């Protein structure tokens, strides 16, 4: 006997009318136009941020061996690449410097040099492409001889002393033209210190995106190759980056950074931490970014290079997953590839 139409509660607590064969879920999947019409998550070029590595000199395009398709660019080539971002409709680039080893010191003094590599790169990009957003990394690991994100004494990372340097680093970057400073160091209290300093210096419109939930992850290796800090790093970063086992702690970190003046928050890495992205977005409803980190990108590229997966499909699927979890924007080394695919 045919079952009559009834309200059927599912595991989410919602009630849905009907059962098979009255209800056939495949109807809405049958055609391309209906799939597009009922799509719950939309990935667009406006959702992308392109991380780019910059190096000294004129003309070099140095490949990063562990990140196929990614290069360290001189400032002149960076300006050209930023122009490509504009043409592709990517709203912003995130700049990371590969600093010469002879400029790396225990006190990271090159980080606060107003004429350092990153500041010159910022100024060049903003002069050529004023409408392109420029996000800059506020952390000391590209500048320290020991490869850590903070000042070190007797094997211990110093929190408050590091914050004083981070404040000066953020100021020189904003003076050079950075639109958003992004503290990625995970020192306690650095968001409030940077916000106060920016406001007092007349930069109340400068934005802060905090790497609020940044984990001590195994997925960062290729990035450290790209910025040249992997060989310099002594020990690990577990005393200041988060334990991958913790979830509630991430919400406390985000709450503190928002209270201190963060305009946006970041979860890093991305795909291995989809649950964190979702919890942060649901708990706070603030602009939430996710970083598809170097190891994630390298994994997709390596599998595609062996013909195990389709690179284009995997890239778009992974970015859509981050959007579905709640990310408002995603930093990805595949930003240009994704933008081209989305343009078609």
Catalytic residues: 214, 268
Q: Which long-range contacts (CB under 8 A, 24 or more apart) does 147-150 make?
A: 147/224, 147/229, 147/230, 147/231, 147/232, 147/233, 147/234, 148/233, 148/234, 148/235, 148/237, 149/184, 149/185, 149/186, 149/187, 149/237, 149/240, 150/185, 150/187, 150/240
Torsions phi, psi of 337, nearest 5? Answer: -60, -45
CB-facing half-sphere around the CA of 195: CA atoms within 13 A? 16
Structure tokens at 79: 């300006």
d(CA 12, CA 268) in angstroms, rounded, equals 28
d(CA 307, CA 203) in angstroms, rounded, equals 49
Q: Kindly provide the residue ranges of all beta strands, DSSP E only, lying in the chain, ordered along the sequence.
A: 7-9, 15-17, 48-54, 61-63, 71-73, 92-97, 133-138, 152-153, 156-157, 180-183, 207-214, 264-268, 288-292, 329-332
Q: Are strands 7-9 and 15-17 parallel, antiparallel or unpaired?
A: antiparallel
Could you tell me which of 172, 116, 180 has the C-alpha nearest to residue 142? Answer: 116
Q: What is the DSSP letter of 3?
A: P
Could you tell me which of 35, 84, 79 has the C-alpha nearest to residue 340? Answer: 84
Could you tell me which of 111, 98, 91 has the C-alpha nearest to residue 180? Answer: 91
């Amino acid at each position: 006997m045919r079952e009559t139409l009834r309200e059927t509660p599912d595991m989410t607590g919602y009630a849905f009318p009907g059962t098979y064969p009255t209800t056939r879920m495949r109807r809405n999947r049958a055609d391309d136009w209906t799939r597009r019409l009922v799509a719950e998550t939309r990935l667009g070029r406006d959702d992308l941020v392109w991380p780019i590595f910059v190096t000294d000199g004129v003309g070099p395009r140095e490949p990063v061996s562990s990140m196929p398709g990614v290069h360290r660019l001189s400032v002149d080539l960076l300006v050209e690449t930023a122009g490509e971002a504009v043409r592709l409709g990517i709203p912003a680039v995130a700049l990371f410097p590969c600093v010469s080893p002879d400029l790396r010191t225990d006190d990271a003094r090159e980080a606060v040099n107003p004429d350092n590599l990153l500041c010159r790169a910022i100024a060049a990009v903003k002069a050529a492409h004023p409408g392109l957003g420029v996000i800059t990394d506020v952390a000391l690991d590209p500048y320290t001889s020991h490869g850590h994100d903070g000042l070190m004494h007797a094997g211990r990372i110093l929190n408050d002393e590091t914050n004083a340097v981070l404040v000066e680093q953020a100021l020189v970057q904003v003076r050079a033209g950075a639109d958003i400073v992004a503290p990625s160091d995970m020192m306690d209290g650095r968001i409030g210190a940077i916000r106060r300093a920016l406001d007092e210096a007349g930069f109340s419109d400068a934005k802060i995106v905090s790497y609020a939930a940044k984990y001590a992850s195994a997925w960062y290796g290729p990035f450290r190759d790209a910025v040249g800090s992997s060989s310099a790093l002594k020990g690990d970063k577990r005393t200041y980056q988060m334990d991958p086992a913790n979830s509630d702690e991430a919400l406390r970190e985000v709450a503190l950074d928002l209270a201190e003046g963060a305009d946006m928050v970041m979860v890093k890495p991305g795909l291995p931490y989809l649950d964190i992205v979702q919890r942060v977005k649901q708990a706070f409803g603030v602009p939430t970014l996710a970083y598809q980190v170097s190891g994630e990108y390298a994994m997709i590229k390596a599998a595609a290079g062996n013909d195990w997966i389709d690179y284009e499909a995997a890239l778009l699927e992974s970015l859509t997953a981050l959007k579905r979890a709640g990310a408002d924007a995603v930093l990805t080394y595949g930003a240009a590839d994704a933008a081209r695919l989305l343009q078609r």
